Amino acid sequence: MGTITAPWKQLLLNALESNSHLKHSSFFQFATVGGNGRPSNRTLVFRGFQENSDKLHINTDNRTQKIGELKHCPFAEICWYFTDSWEQFRISGTVDVIDGSNPETLKLQQREKSWFASSVKSRLQYLGPHPGLPRISEHQSEEEARLDPSIGPVAAFCLLVLDPDQVDYLDLKNNQRLKFISKLDTNGVKSWSSERVNP
């Protein structure tokens, strides 16, 4: 199963490059469908594209609410606004949740690669208390602060892979908006069509 280079991907790479001097340019909002049917939104960090594809990587803690939401309903949407270039990307698709129990070797390798690509400080957060539960103590235990940087992913570490099927691109400086929609051909190859729409 292959993919033809997504036409929106270069627009996103250009936006990332032109806004790279802004620390917040790698952060986006990630919305899922909550168990109650309501939207559930949070800010996450872009961890790059999967090799030779248009799939986006996101690291997260598998103890968070979003994991249950994605297992119940795998659809999600990213909203990414670049403040310097005035560009917005809304990227929607399905999410593959890759935790340590995944049976596919290739996916476990992707998870491990994403773990080692993260800073040690970032990895430490997965040793902390269960996210979203009431805080028992104001002091972190000594044990939580210890991490062998050569050891692979801890149980709480999870890689999310968003496979986009629609991208809505808005360029406010030039007052232009493009919609990109993907489809799979009979061989499973994804192709994209685009349409210029009113902003």
What is the secondary structure of 91-127 as a DSSP string?
EEEEEEEE-TT---HHHHHHHHHHHHHS-HHHHHGGG
CB atoms within 10 A of CB 38: 8
List, in order of start, the domains of the chain with CATH numbers: 7-130+150-197 (2.30.110.10)
Question: What is the CA 69 to chain-centroid distance, rounded?
Answer: 15
Distance CA(78)–CA(91), nearest Å, equals: 5
Q: Are 83 and 22 in contact (CB under 8 A)?
A: yes
Which residues have a Cβ under 8 Å from the Cβ of 4 and sit 6 or more positions away? 189, 190, 191, 192
Q: Is the pLDDT of residue 3 over 90?
A: no
Write the pLDDT tens digit of every residue in 158-176. 999 999 999 999 999 999 9
Q: Is the pLDDT of residue 36 over 70?
A: yes
Structure tokens at 105: 């070797």
Q: How confident is the model at residue 142 (pLDDT cuts 50, 70, 90)?
A: very low
Q: Are 59 and 118 in contact (CB under 8 A)?
A: yes
